[in-house]
């Protein structure tokens, strides 16, 4: 007894095997078949893009470069700024002043949009501010940027006034020191003049005392030569007078020495005044220099309009339209070919 064979259907010998590979030549054939559609459609896209870009309004860029104001100088010579570039840059990009500018210049926000873009300049303590405006509105754009700089400056006006006031007070104090020195110097010169007059009087008095002593000594010598009776009392008087004059002479000499010492001290002080006053004047010059460095927002580059429009970028628009149109036409060619093949089947 034979086993039953399973119920199988024989595989037809002439049935072609399934192919899941797609040859590249098939794609090329489709592209070649619809080449004029692809070329024409791409050209139409490029022409349309060129026409549209020509009709778009020209946009120019207005740019300026500003620097935060200087508030003072450090001991190492570096500047102290009123504010950091990061804070100023943040204010501009956040549009803190946009509304105020619109109100000040009486602009309609629906028709004229005030918008700024700023960036910190690399390796510099400065900020570049830009704004884009249509061809006929560039003069208004320059006015808007200048108004922005005014508002920025107004924010730091009080700080600058306080800094300048502080320097002015220091300069006044130093100037008062010089005036006081001048007054003391004049007083010392007056004292020196008085000492000179007193010295002259003492010298005259010393000279007179010396002459009197010499005269009395000569008279006493004459009495001693005569040796008459009653001369003893006279000699005693002469001796007493000589001793008194000698004591007075010594007193005057001591006063003269004291005056000379005092005169030397005064002259030494007077000689110190010019050096001290020169130091204070140098300090005043330094303060004036630092005060002169105090400044508000600086405009390093005045607002200027770009020579060529930044928008629209016609070449870029045409190139993008060519690329997009080419891909779209290729896709459309394959889609049409697929529809045709499907309808045939």
Tell me the pLDDT of the chain (345 aa) as tens digits.
444 444 444 444 444 444 444 577 888 888 888 889 888 888 998 899 888 888 888 899 999 999 999 888 887 878 888 889 999 999 999 999 999 999 999 988 888 889 999 999 988 889 999 999 988 889 999 999 999 999 999 999 988 999 899 999 999 999 999 999 899 888 988 888 888 888 888 888 888 888 888 787 777 777 777 655 455 677 677 778 778 878 888 888 888 888 888 888 888 888 888 888 899 999 999 999 988 889 899 999 999 999 988 888 888 888 998 999 899 988 988 888 888 888 876
Cβ neighbours of 106 (radius 10 Å):
6
Q: Facing residues of 282 across strands?
A: none
Look at residue 281 in the predicted model and tell me its pLDDT: 92
State the maximum Cα–Cα separation within the chain, in Å, rounded to a whole number.
Answer: 209
Q: Which long-range contacts (CB under 8 A, 24 or more apart) does 10-15 make?
A: none
Q: State the residue for tokens 């026409």.
A: 51
- Residue 67's SS3 state is strand
Q: 136 by DSSP, 3-state: which?
A: helix
> What is the CATH number assigned to the segment(s) 161-293?
1.10.287
Cis before residue 330, ω within 30 degrees of 0?
Answer: no
How far is Cα 278 from Cα 201, in angstroms, rounded to an integer?
Answer: 37
Helical segments of the chain, H only: 24-33, 35-55, 85-93, 98-104, 138-155, 157-226, 231-293, 314-344
Domain ranges for the chain, please list them: 24-56+331-344, 59-156+296-308, 161-293
CATH number of 59-156+296-308: 3.30.70
Q: Which residues pair with 326 in a beta bridge?
A: none
- Residue 66: beta bridge partners? 127, 299
């Amino acid at each position: 007894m034979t086993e039953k064979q399973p119920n199988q259907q024989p595989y037809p010998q002439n049935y072609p095997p399934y192919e899941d590979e797609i040859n590249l030549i098939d794609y090329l054939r489709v592209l070649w078949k619809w080449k004029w559609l692809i070329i024409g459609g791409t050209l139409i896209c490029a022409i349309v893009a060129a026409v549209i870009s020509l009709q778009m309004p020209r946009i120019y860029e207005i740019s300026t470069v500003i620097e935060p104001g200087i508030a003072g100088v450090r001991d190492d010579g570096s500047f102290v700024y009123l504010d950091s570039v990061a804070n100023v840059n943040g204010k501009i990009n956040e549009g803190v002043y946009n509304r105020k500018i619109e109100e000040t210049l009486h602009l309609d926000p629906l028709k004229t949009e005030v918008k700024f873009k700023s960036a910190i300049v690399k390796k510099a303590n400065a900020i570049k501010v830009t704004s884009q405006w249509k061809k006929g509105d560039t003069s208004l754009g320059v006015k808007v940027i200048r108004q922005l700089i005014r508002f920025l400056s107004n924010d730091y006006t009080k700080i600058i006034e306080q800094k300048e006031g502080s320097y002015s007070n220091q300069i006044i104090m130093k100037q008062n020191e010089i005036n006081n020195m001048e007054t003391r110097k004049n007083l010392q010169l007056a004292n020196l003049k008085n000492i000179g007059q007193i010295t002259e009087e003492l010298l005259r008095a010393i000279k007179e005392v010396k002459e009197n002593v010499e005269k009395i000594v000569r008279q006493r010598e004459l009495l001693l030569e005569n040796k008459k009776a009653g001369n003893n009392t006279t000699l005693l008087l002469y001796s007493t007078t000589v001793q008194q004059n000698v004591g007075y002479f010594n007193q005057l000499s001591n006063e003269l020495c004291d005056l000379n010492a005092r005169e030397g001290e005064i002259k030494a002080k007077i000689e110190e005044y010019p050096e001290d006053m020169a130091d204070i004047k140098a300090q005043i010059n330094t303060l004036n220099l630092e005060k002169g460095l105090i400044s508000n927002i600086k405009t390093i580059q005045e607002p200027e309009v770009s020579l060529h429009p930044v928008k629209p970028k016609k070449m870029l628009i045409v190139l993008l339209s060519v690329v997009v149109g080419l891909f779209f036409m290729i896709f459309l060619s394959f889609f049409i070919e697929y529809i045709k093949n499907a309808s045939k089947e």
